[in-house]
Structures are given as structure tokens and as C-alpha cells.
Structure 1
Amino acid sequence: MDDPYKILGVERTASADEIRKAYRTLAKRWHPDTNPDKPEAEARFKAVSAAYALLSDPDQRARFDRGEIDASGAERAPPPPPGAGGGWRDWADAPGGARYRSSAGGFGDYFDESDLEDFLSRAFGGAAGGRGGAPRGPRRGADVRASLQVSFLDAARGASREVTLPDGRAVRLSIPKGAETGTVLRLAGQGMPGTGEGAPAGDLLAVLEVQPHRFFRREGNDIVVDLPVTLKEAVLGARVEVPTVDGPVTLTVPPRSGEGTRLRLRGRGVNGGHQYVVLKPILPTEPEPELEEFLKRWASRDARDPRAGMLAP
């Protein structure tokens, strides 16, 4: 994985707010749902999510800055001689809507005593000694990063989801009410096992990807929905049912409500926000002789030109 600061396009001195803002901008730009014709978008989105998962955690960011862990969250080891193998497997899908990444420590064309010691330490829980018989200290396991897709309503309402890890373990994640894309959930001790006796396991870091909804969209803590209304409802006013994230409610449409009229449902957003209903009057699709005949005879008292100013040079 490349330098997470470079992936997000921020300086190493960037504040948490600057990192969050950069992530949101890039996540929106590269989200696969908005780039169906760009195969590289998913890879970019995954890289951005992984970088944000690391830098949004103050402890992990500090350890990375000190050189204690690499960009993947794994403990740093002395650099191998030229020609040594190793690397990272690509993200893989797993049950529960999550995608995972984990280390794949191959030896490539180079193999020496230290590699064998490390292999035995991983295999037998640290029983093998280091060079000259000196025991290696326990090493914390690497964190596992997961990109977890959740529905818009689950993120808005809060939910509990069971996710299956690559090793077959099932863990339950609590999605907080009002979660948004980029929210990082941490499960301590659910990452890769540690190396050596008593070494703690790493953590599971789940970066949420909130899926778009057919009707709702989010603006900060506010929820916005476009509501079709008939011409009669828009002109005369009406009481209509409106969907919200918590179920339908009744809303009063004022008389003479034009296209784009924005009505507020107080407290129906997330985390104290509101829901805004944007009215979309719909004209009849079938012939309406009575309406057409009335409009031919009708003269509005409002003599303003609705297109005034548009044709001025």
C-alpha cells in the first residue's frame, strides 16, 4: 500500500478535519456506484478507504508516523535484502458484505536464517529463538481492514450486522445511528494473531460504505427527499403522506406550491438534523379536456413574466 498521506493528497501535518474532508471528496469521486464505466474506480476507492482507516485512528496514525507500523497496519520489520519476496494479497470479498486484506508473507527467491526463525515463530507461537538463541519479543498482530457496505437506512437508523472474517469467525458489528461513509468501526483483538507468547492480536477496522437510496439523500445531518405531487395538490394544497427514514408521516402541502418548494420536517434527519421535502408537481400524461379548456379561458392576475431577464444580452 502506498503512503496514505499521498493517497488522500494531504500533508503529514494535516488535521483530522482536513483528512476527513479529503477522504469524503475522494470517496465521492471514486465510489464504484458513480463510476460504473471506470474499472479503476473501485481500486481507487478501496485505496482511499484503507488510507482513511489508518489516518483517522489517532493511535494508528501516530505509530505509522513513528515508523512502528507500515501503511497496511502491520508491524515494521527490518527491510529484507534485495530480491526478497512478500507483499499483500488484493482485497477479497467475504460473507456479510465486507472485503478484507491480509498479509501474504512469501519468501520469494531469498531465504536465510532470520526468515526461518520468523516462520517458526509464526508457526509455533514464538518457540524459536532469534539469532544467537536470543528470544524474540512478542509482536502485536496486524490490523485487518474491512470495507463494509451498509444500506442507507441501516446507517441512518443504526443497526447490528454479523460479518464473517476470512478465517471463518463471525463477529457482530454495531453500526451507530447516523453513520456515514468513512465511519470507522474498531473491534479490538479481532485482527491477525500476534507473534510470540502473550502477543496481542490486532484489531478489525471496518470502514463503512453507505449505499445510495432510491428516494433519500443526505446533506450533512439532514435528509432530503423529492416528493411528486399532482397539479391539483400543488395548486390547491393537500395533506399527503411522506416517507421518512423512520416511516411515513403526514405533511401539509401549502396552496400554490411551485416546483422546488422545500418543506421541513423538524427532527426527522439524523443526529438532530431535519428532513426536507422538495415538491415536484407532475403534469397529467393523458389528455385533460376540461383543464385545457379552462386554461384557454383563464387569465392569471399575476402578470409577471416567468422568463424575465433570461433573454437579456
Structure 2
Amino acid sequence: MAPKRDYYEILGVPRNASKEEIKKAYRRLARQYHPDLNPGNKEAEEKFKEIQEAYAVLSDDEKRKMYDMYGTAEFQPGTERTTWRWTEAPGGGFEFTFGDFSGFEDIFNEVFGEREPTRVRRRGRDLEYQLEIDFDTAIKGGVKDITITRETICPGCGGSGVRVGAGARVCPKCRGSGRSLFTSFLNISRACDMCGGSGKISTEPCNTCNGSGKRITTETISVKIPAGVDTGSRIRVPGKGEEGTISNGDLYLVIKVRPHPLFRREQDDLYIEVPITVYEAALGAQISVPTVDGTAVVTIPPGTQSGTKLRLRGKGVPHLRDGGRGDLYVITKIVLPEKINESARKKFEELAKTSPYNPRAHLDKYLR
């Protein structure tokens, strides 16, 4: 057997070439010698195989190191041999199947575009809906029934779009080959988009779906809302996206929470503004305050000012990922009566005369 050519020579790069230089050289040569662009050219086919083999070794750090030391990356301890298989595609051209070389197919698809299989098999598309819920459901969780509309596979034809038992004719676009020429910056042979790669088109479309292979269905499902969700949270419902021939897509519900008339939420903490009287602020008091769990009694310390934050631990929003909860902050707001009776007026006047307190004392030095 003739000795293999030097891999660096095959790609036209120096032995100290970087991985990026090797990748660029591979892209350039792969475009030049790809068999679909050189039909019937055995020399180009063999050259292309050499290019793939060289890149498979030189783009892998461990295999490149072994190759630099021993002149080969095969059958050495701790290394794996990269395998690939060539088969002739319908209507000419070649299919290239990659073995255990991780990541090689990605760079191949990047250069040439993803090759579609002869028989189209796909996972259904994911769907996304916005789900509006009330504040209490977001805090406590619950179950909500929703109605969704999605594409499903036609039960009459199994998604083929062809009436069961119907005859077929040769596809006029690919002429029965199952493949068509895709033109971008290169001409690449791909599965025919008219016949889906089968090479045939039925003259009798399915009566149920009119040949589309799909139908629109409406379904009501029950969705569990976990406690602690917020606006922007996403709930995944597996298998409730569009149907596919391999598997169904998933349904994603994007949560929008309606505002509450009393509570304001910041992450997992809640805030509520509570009015208090001037004498409750001055003398202190115990007042009843609403929480998401019911009524709580809060102590107002003597001398409380407007804007004081009183913390109620564990009275906020449940954490989504553990059993803890946020806190509830009671924000005080001193509110004076719009009108006072004569008795109250006299008491305020007496207080004004006897109290030495001046809240503006710190401004005296600035007065002119």
C-alpha cells in the first residue's frame, strides 16, 4: 500500500498552523473538491476523502499531537479512529456519514448547508402563548384551563398528504431522483422540496387535509401554575407544541401577572402602603394589615414617621426553586383628617403651645 501523504501537505498549511488556519484551509479545499460539485470526477472524490481525513486528525488536539509524534493518529493507546461512510445519493451525488468524530458534522454543515434526509422526519415546532393570570394565582399557584390551537398530523394520511392507496407520478422537479440542486454561493444537491425526497408526487391528495399533511386542531388543556411565578416566567408543557413525525414540540406559556390594587412586588418581596393617624404615629399602636395569607397584626412603634418600613418575615412570595419565601414590607403613611371638630382643634392648639418640638430647627441657620 502506498504511504499516505502528509496531512499538513494535503491541507496546504505549515506544521505550526493554528486551528483557525486549519479550519480556513479545510473550508476552501472542501468547496473546491466536493463530489456534488465535481460529478463523475473520481480524482476529486479521492481528494475530498483525503481532505476530510486530514482535517479529522489535525482539528483534534489529541490526534494531532499523536500524529506529530508518530506520523499517525490510528491504533495508538488513548485515541479513537474516526470513521465515515460514503454512499451514492438518489440521482447522483454522495451522502457523507460521520462516525465518532464529535463536531465534524457541524463544520461540514457550516460549509455546505445541512443535508436533508431522503424521507423528511422532523420534530414538531415549539409553540409559545402568553398566559395572563391574577396576582393571587401567581403567589399561591393553581391550575388553569387554557384553549390552544396547533398543527397536528392529518389522521387520514399520516402526514404524507396523499390519499391512502392512491397512485403516484414522477416528481417533475427532480425527475424521480428525490434530489434537487440548491443554488446559493455553491450548487449543492439536496432533498427535493417538491416531493420531500421521495421522487414521486401523488395525483390524488388526501381528502381530509387537501394534501397538506396537517390539520388545525383546537384543544383545551389543564396547566399547573407553580407558586411564585412572575411576569416573564416561562412554563413548559411537554409535547403540546405542533406534532412531528419524530416527536411533538413543546408548548411554552409566557406568564403575565395582572397588578394587585394593594400589593407591589419586587422579586420575591411584597410591599404595601398602610395609612396611620398622627396619634398612632406619635403614641404607637397595633393595627390590622392584609397579607396574601390573611390578616396580620402589626405593631407601630411610638414616633413612627411616614415612609417607615416594617418587615414581616416570610409573608412574601414563595421561592420557585426552594421552600423559602420572601418578606412583606409595610410602608407607613401618616394621614391627617381633612376636617377636624372643635374639640380636636383645641387639643391641637394646646399641643402646639406646650410642645417644644420643632421639626425645622435644622433650617434656622440658613434663614436670613
> What's the TM-score once normalised by structure 1's chain length?
0.53
CA distance in 1, matches of 2:118, 2:364: 83
Give the conservation status (yes or no) of the 8 Å contact 1:159–1:174: yes
**What is the aligned partner in structure 2 of residue 180 from structure 1?**
230
Compute the RMSD of aligned alpha carbons: 2.9
**What is the aligned partner in structure 1 of residue 360 from structure 2?**
305
Matches within 5 A, 1:112-123: none
**What is the aligned partner in structure 1 of residue 333 from structure 2?**
280
Deviations 1:156-209 (A, max 9, x none): 112221111123211122222111111110011101111x4xx21111000111
Query: Post-superposition shift, 1:136?
Result: 2.0
**What is the aligned partner in structure 1 of residue 10 from structure 2?**
none
Q: Equivalent of 2:305, from 247, 250, 258? A: 258
Query: Post-superposition shift, 1:242?
Result: 0.7
**What is the aligned partner in structure 2 of residue 170 from structure 1?**
220
**What is the aligned partner in structure 2 of residue 203 from structure 1?**
250
Indicate how the Cα distance of structure 1 residues 228 and 310 shifts in structure 2: closer, same or farther if over 3 A, else same. Answer: farther
Indicate how the Cα distance of structure 1 residues 212 and 287 shifts in structure 2: closer, same or farther if over 3 A, else same. Answer: same
Higher relative contact order (CA 8 A, sep 6+): 2
Indicate how the Cα distance of structure 1 residues 157 and 310 shifts in structure 2: closer, same or farther if over 3 A, else same. Answer: farther
Q: For residue 232 of structure 1, give the secondary structure of its aligned residue in structure 2.
A: helix
CA distance in 2, matches of 1:312, 1:206: 61
Q: For residue 243 of structure 1, give the secondary structure of its aligned residue in structure 2.
A: strand
Query: Post-superposition shift, 1:267?
Result: 0.8
Indicate how the Cα distance of structure 1 residues 302 and 168 shifts in structure 2: closer, same or farther if over 3 A, else same. Answer: same
Q: For residue 137 of structure 2, give the secondary structure of its aligned residue in structure 1.
A: helix
The percent identity for this pair of structures is 35
CA distance in 1, matches of 2:300, 2:139: 25
Matches within 5 A, 1:1-313: 135-166=118-149, 167-194=217-244, 196=245, 199-270=246-317, 271=319, 272-298=325-351, 299-305=354-360, 308=363
Deviations 1:3-38 (A, max 9, x none): xxxxxxxxxxxxxxxxxxxxxxxxxxxxxxxxxxxx
Deviations 1:242-265 (A, max 9, x none): 111111111111122221111111
Uncovered stretches (5+) of structure 1, i.e. residues with no partner = 1-65, 67-75, 79-129
CA distance in 1, matches of 2:340, 2:356: 26
CA distance in 2, matches of 1:293, 1:306: 25
Whichever structure has more strand as a proportion of its residues is 2
Query: Post-superposition shift, 1:309?
Result: 8.7
Indicate how the Cα distance of structure 1 residues 309 and 168 shifts in structure 2: closer, same or farther if over 3 A, else same. Answer: farther
Q: How many aligned residue pairs are there? A: 183
CA distance in 2, matches of 1:205, 1:269: 26
Query: Post-superposition shift, 1:278?
Result: 0.4
Indicate how the Cα distance of structure 1 residues 214 and 175 shifts in structure 2: closer, same or farther if over 3 A, else same. Answer: same
Deviates more, 1:172-181 or 1:229-238: 229-238
Q: For residue 178 of structure 1, give the secondary structure of its aligned residue in structure 2.
A: coil
**What is the aligned partner in structure 2 of residue 118 from structure 1?**
none
CA distance in 1, matches of 2:363, 2:129: 54
Shift >6 Å, 4+ stretches: 309-313
**What is the aligned partner in structure 2 of residue 120 from structure 1?**
none
Which of the pair has more CA radius of gyration?
Answer: 2
Q: For residue 185 of structure 1, give the secondary structure of its aligned residue in structure 2.
A: strand
Amino acid at match of 1:292: R
CA distance in 2, matches of 1:225, 1:292: 31
Deviations 1:199-222 (A, max 9, x none): 211110001111111000112211
Uncovered stretches (5+) of structure 2, i.e. residues with no partner = 1-105, 107-112, 150-216, 320-324
Indicate how the Cα distance of structure 1 residues 309 and 222 shifts in structure 2: closer, same or farther if over 3 A, else same. Answer: farther
CA distance in 1, matches of 2:118, 2:365: 81
Indicate how the Cα distance of structure 1 residues 168 and 294 shifts in structure 2: closer, same or farther if over 3 A, else same. Answer: same
CA distance in 1, matches of 2:340, 2:114: 76
CA distance in 2, matches of 1:309, 1:171: 69
Give the conservation status (yes or no) of the 8 Å contact 1:157–1:246: no
> What's the TM-score once normalised by structure 2's chain length?
0.45
CA distance in 1, matches of 2:309, 2:334: 12
